[in-house]
Homo-oligomer: A and B are copies of this chain.
Amino acid sequence: VKISEIGEFGLIAHLKELVGPPADGEIWIGDDTAVLRAPAGTILFTSDLLIEGIHFDLDLIKPEDLGYKSIAVNVSDVAAMGGTARRALVGMGLSGEVEVEWIDRFYAGMRECCDDFGLAIVGGDLSRSDKLIISVSMLGNPAGRLFVQRKGARVGDVVAVTGTLGASAAGHLLLKASATEPEALIKAHVRPAPRAKEAAVLRRFIPTAMIDVSDGFAADVGHICEASEVGVLLDASALPLADLTGLGLSSGALQLALSGGEDYELCFTISPDRFEAAAAAVLEQTGTSVSRVGEIVDKGRGRVLLIEGDEEPLLAAGWDHLRV
């Protein structure tokens, strides 16, 4: 069944089923706005736009994975503030040619991510569009009055990152080359795991600054750097590179780790006397490793400096959506 056969209102009724019944005292799909209960006086509010041909290629990603990823990237943003994602609106621009079955699979993926991280889809907007457009807005709760900004890194702080870097970009290269394995690398790209549980452990150790790795590690650590008005000295040999041996990719593991992007790992800074305990707690409670990759320094304010044999400045070669 095509979307054009059931129409906008038929689709809304269908989505209401897919989303499930609203939480007590809340109103979700079917009115002018969603009505939500906010427990705290502070709200985290974020949105992300995913566009066919720019952020994803429908030939390279299954609808379930695209759904999962659409929610995951926003959960990751909320986690990077040290918060917990709670409610989402999903706007979609769709061609009438889209099959309702595609929507069902896309929503199943979104629901799976929502279930994994304890949040719910509460509404959205539908529009006609030649290319598929996905716009997710999300509300989250901070941990009490605490939230972790990009601003706040201090000279002497440890720079650390969860998991590994470069797997998502490697997975993307593999997909474009029609490879179907290694599965772990492809999964890192099509179904990234936002580090919400890791953030919930980390925030108890009071990171001074935090960001999720979406543009590319060098660019993202650069954002912390600029916001905090400090420099960062990275040790290339300490970066937790994804294992890409024997894959014959056109880019090396270090390059993909630094500028690949879409890893959705957490990059944070923390006082040196808290780092070991924080890393141990994250590993123990979530199974995710945390690597010490550098230090906040007084020199090169706003710049990322890389030590690779000799110290040399690194171009923050991340992803800029608009520059040619």
A positions within 8 Å CB-CB of B: 3-9, 11, 27, 30-51, 54-55, 77-78, 80-81, 83, 87, 89, 91-94, 96, 122-129, 131, 133, 135, 137-140, 142, 147, 149-151, 210-212, 227, 320-324
Q: Residue A33 contacts which of B40, B51, B78, B94 (CB distance < 8 angstroms)?
A: B78
Copies of this chain present in the complex amount to: 2
Contact yes or no, A127 B31, CB < 8 A: no
Contact yes or no, A47 B77, CB < 8 A: no
List, in ascending order, chain B residues with CB within 8 A of A91's CB.
Answer: 47-49, 135
Contact yes or no, A149 B89, CB < 8 A: no
Q: Residue A32 contacts which of B6, B43, B211, B324 (CB distance < 8 angstroms)?
A: B211
List, in ascending order, chain B residues with CB within 8 A of A128's CB.
Answer: 51, 54, 321-322
Contact yes or no, B93 A133, CB < 8 A: yes
Could you pull out 20 A-B pairs where Cβ atoms are within 8 angstroms? A7-B320, A7-B322, A30-B227, A32-B210, A33-B44, A33-B45, A33-B83, A35-B147, A36-B42, A38-B43, A39-B41, A45-B87, A45-B89, A47-B137, A49-B91, A49-B92, A49-B126, A54-B127, A93-B133, A96-B322
Contact yes or no, A31 B150, CB < 8 A: yes
Known contacts A11-B322, A43-B43, A91-B49: does B127 contact A33 (CB below 8 Å)? no
Contact yes or no, B127 A321, CB < 8 A: yes
Contact yes or no, B46 A32, CB < 8 A: yes
Docked Cα-Cα span, A11 to B11, in Å, equals: 36
Which residue on B lies nearest to A76, using beta carbons?
Answer: B32
Q: How far is the CB of A270 from chain B (nearest CB, A)?
A: 17
A126-B321, A131-B131 are known; give 5 further A-B pairs, CB within 8 A: A32-B81, A34-B45, A35-B147, A36-B44, A54-B129
Contact yes or no, B45 A139, CB < 8 A: yes
Contact yes or no, A125 B39, CB < 8 A: no
Contact yes or no, A7 B78, CB < 8 A: no
Contact yes or no, A46 B135, CB < 8 A: no
Q: How far is the CB of A195 from chain B (nearest CB, A)?
A: 12
Contact yes or no, A8 B320, CB < 8 A: yes
